[in-house]
Amino acid sequence: PSRQLAATRVILFLTALTDFQISDAEWEDMLEGFDERSYLSARRWKPGDDPYTLYAFNQRESERIPSDRALRDTRHYRCTTLHYDSELPSTSIIITFHNEARSTLLRTIKSVLNRTPVHLIYEIILVDDFSDDESDCQLLTKLPKVKCFRNNKREGLIRSRVRGTDAARAKVLTFLDSHCEVNKDWLPPLLQRIKEDPSRVVSPVIDIINMDTFAYVAASADLRGGFDWSLHFKWEQLSPEQRARRTDPTQPIKTPIIAGGLFVIDRAWFNHLGKYDTAMDIWGGENFEISFRVWQCGGSLEILPCSRVGHVFRKKHPYVFPEGNANTYIKNTRRTAEVWMDDFRLFYYSARPAARGKSYGDRVELRKKLNCKSFKWYLDNVYPELNTLYMAYLATHKCITSFTNVCIHCRHLEMFGKQQWLRDV
């Protein structure tokens, strides 16, 4: 860690010496001067090989798609009539990756450079999470605004993102995955909402990049993030009542939880909230932890229909979890449940009994320090729909026990304000 910190300081020092305002002509020269053909020549798909083996998406199709392909504007037409402040804050765009396909990584960066006003990009920070080939990252620093940081061991998404935020110098942080394509005018709507209220955490509508054909497909703008008691994320349609209240299709959508891969947050607010839980490993569950923390500690989460970013959704992970995918996810989500869900964590344990006995660390002290609200408040004010799931759950399960094997149905019914007794309690 000390060597890694020293390397970060050296990079920041050199950057401070060389930072200057890039003119439009210099910007174009850097883009045109980048040797894209040479960069993309490494580890190319070879005829006869399975194109899904390395990255769990169709590598052959990805390499056939230009790095600067045109995309259809998938926003509602009324988004084009909106105006944003002329003086929006610039942002540090943080992209972490481990053994990402060069074609998708480059296309992510080129889409940002081509579809974002230059003055809004303070820097693009790549955090290479100990990929097999360190030149995957280093060669990209020849592109404008791009900086590269490399972990000296595998750290995972969460700790890699924290390293990126520690190096960031803009007042606003933007997190992107390494297999995305941003669409037209994607950033100003996000920065506008942060400028108006720094406690907001905002996300674009996430369009779909097909993992087989790499076709760019518009996602519905009537979706928000949801979950069940096992802390399984899902997209859910807005209810008819919620849609009826949305007289303006450009209005932000309040969401109980974000998908986690793509969002924008004020840097000071992110630091105040405790960044990420760095004891979580590799990937999974961090979106629940940060979503609960934002809502319960005084912030809000929004999806902005006038910001669109495409993302390659895969059916499996192409990389290895040292403790296994399921064990890592359970460890991470148990930490979330124990710190943020109060007594309602017992319904998580009922849905995921394998989570019992996993360590959950010391983030409880952070919650006390921030004087955050209860999970009951979250259910009542942010995600009342989960109350309905809770009652349906009780109707089909005879008894949920605590660690002392005491049936807790009645206790939780009282928490929901229900004066009911279950026959089998």
Which residue, among 139, 120, 160, has the nearest Cα to 8 in the 3D structure? Answer: 160
Beta strands 223-227 and 263-266 are unpaired
Q: What's the pLDDT score for residue 30? A: 81
Cβ 223 vs Cβ 236: under 8 Å: yes
- Each residue's pLDDT tens digit, 115-162: 999 999 999 999 999 999 999 999 999 999 999 999 999 998 999 999
Q: Phi, psi at residue 162, to the nearest 5°? A: -65, -40
Cβ 194 vs Cβ 91: under 8 Å: no
Which residue, among 25, 174, 3, has the nearest Cα to 90 in the 3D structure? Answer: 174
Any residues with CB less than 8 A from the CB of 368 and at least 6 apart, and which? Answer: none
pLDDT: is 245 or 425 the higher one? Answer: 245
Cβ 349 vs Cβ 355: under 8 Å: yes
Q: What's the pLDDT score for residue 14? A: 45
Which range among 217-221, 349-353, 384-388 has the greatest average pLDDT? 217-221
Q: Give the residue-averaged pLDDT of 98-115.
A: 97
pLDDT: is 265 or 26 the higher one? Answer: 265
Distance CA 406, CA 135 (A): 57
Q: Please name the residue that has the structure tokens 């020269």.
A: 29
Q: What's the pLDDT score for residue 6? A: 56
Architecture in CATH for domain 2-312:
Alpha-Beta Complex (3.90)
Beta strands 253-254 and 300-312 are antiparallel
- Each residue's pLDDT tens digit, 275-324: 998 888 766 789 999 999 999 999 999 999 999 999 999 876 665 555 55
Q: What's the pLDDT score for residue 330? A: 85
Q: What's the pLDDT score for residue 413? A: 44
Is the pLDDT at 410 greater than 80? The verdict is no
Average pLDDT of the residues of the chain: 86
Distance CA 262, CA 179 (A): 11
- Each residue's pLDDT tens digit, 190-242: 999 999 999 999 999 999 999 999 999 999 999 999 999 999 999 999 999 99
Distance CA 404, CA 394 (A): 19
pLDDT band at 17 (very low <50, low <70, confident <90, very high): very low
Domain extent listing, the chain: 2-312
Q: Give the residue-averaged pLDDT of 65-72.
A: 97
Q: What's the pLDDT score for residue 275? A: 96
